[in-house]
Structure 1
Amino acid sequence: MTTITGCRGAANFAVELRGHSAHAGRPSDGASAILAAADLIAVIEEDHARLATQPHPVLGAPTWNIGTIEGGHGTSIVPARCTLTIDRRTLPDEDPESILALVLEETRERIQRSGRPGVDLIEVIGRVEMTMPGFTIDPASPVVRQIQAAVVDAGGSGATDIWTASCEGGFICRHHAIDAVVLGPGDLPGQAHQPDERVSISELVRAARAYALLALRTPAANSARFEVAAAKEQS
């Protein structure tokens, strides 16, 4: 069980491309929303490659992933609509609204440069559906050392790392100005979102022990326990 001391943020975008339907026998009469979506995908691929060359020193590089794509109504019809849902992993100083605006603008420019029939009819519309901030804390901070000790005493390694997923820890750090970590059983790279996603019983037991030790060792928990004991002695 690894103590996670930071992760990138996440933003989910929904992008709709609107064109003009026509008979497939005369595609020049229409404007293909799916071909326009291909331009969007190309823009994202290029930006993904660019970002890979500029990693954050702790969190690594931001990434793109196109999660779903849906468009068209029939094989013999020029598609008038195409929608995509897109994931972007963000760094703490990035603004999802600005990221989306730039990608949409670059997509519109690429569509115009394509010279395909009906490019002036294409609309590119996007919205931010979800944002989650990233965060980092000092691996040598007191809270991390306390957690590591509990994990080791529970049978774990006490290692620290940076997560490739995202979580609500960024909200805790940002809104409450306190340190946050991610701590739990399981293997994110090997098991997350897999058909056989699972957590072993031994990992669950180890995690439960670590949580219990951590709770019992925190000042607030000890103070409450002593207050209960003192009350019992007086009664």
Structure 2
Amino acid sequence: MADRIDLNCDLGEEVDAWEPGVDGLDTQLLDVVTSANVACGLHAGDERIMAAVCRAASARGVAVGAHVSYLDREHFGRRFVDVPADVLQEQVTRQVETLRAIARWEGTRVAYVKPHGALYNAVVHHETHARALVAASADLPVLGLPGSAVLAAARARGLRAVTEAFADRGYRADGTLVPRSEPGALVTDDAEVAARVVRLAVDGVVRAVDGTDVRVEAESVCVHSDTPGAAALARAVRATLAEAGVTVVPFVT
């Protein structure tokens, strides 16, 4: 049984007005999660939004991560881009360094790297893009799917490889995620999601869409900000974990 787990969320994806006094969705989520995956501009967000998220995360003791993507704002980073490895490495490096500079200015730091969308899915198996992403991550831990090529590349480079599970996404029997275009891709019921996360933390398993149990050992669990009712869902997850005796803390300090 895990006695602690991290709760992360993708933020700064232009869902918030980010004006003083506005209690928007990202702000509500920052009151619950322990790690913030901050969009770095290539799929969503901009430097102003990055600064606002870093500032709000710093005030709450929430860890900041670089949520890096293919250059694909038109499709929100959810389309695979067959970019050369050197170009991808430069793009990811630029995203990480931009957020690092902003985070320092806002009194915090970038603590890890997590790929977004199509890049996240690609580096499960795409070894060339996985190595490019890891090379661009400098000395930072990399967050990814258990058994993925990107985590293997991180370990080979001497970086910390952090395994991740998803509270609100459907799983296939092989441990990969159900594509968003297919039935069962999202799980939105608060009670069901909270129970899934507790089972992930306590037993290290999740129920796949075909009804089988899949072994998923994760240091961090993601709740997506664009899942319907994301704030209430995140609160239910955190409360249920506490009831189960699992402490929610960042995986980096």
Q: Flag whether TM exceeds 0.5 (same fold).
A: no
Task: Say which structure is richer in helix.
Answer: 1
Q: What TM-score results when the alignment is normalised by the length of structure 1?
A: 0.24
Please identify the structure whose Cα radius of gyration is greater: 1
What is the TM-score when the length of structure 2 is the normalising length? Answer: 0.23
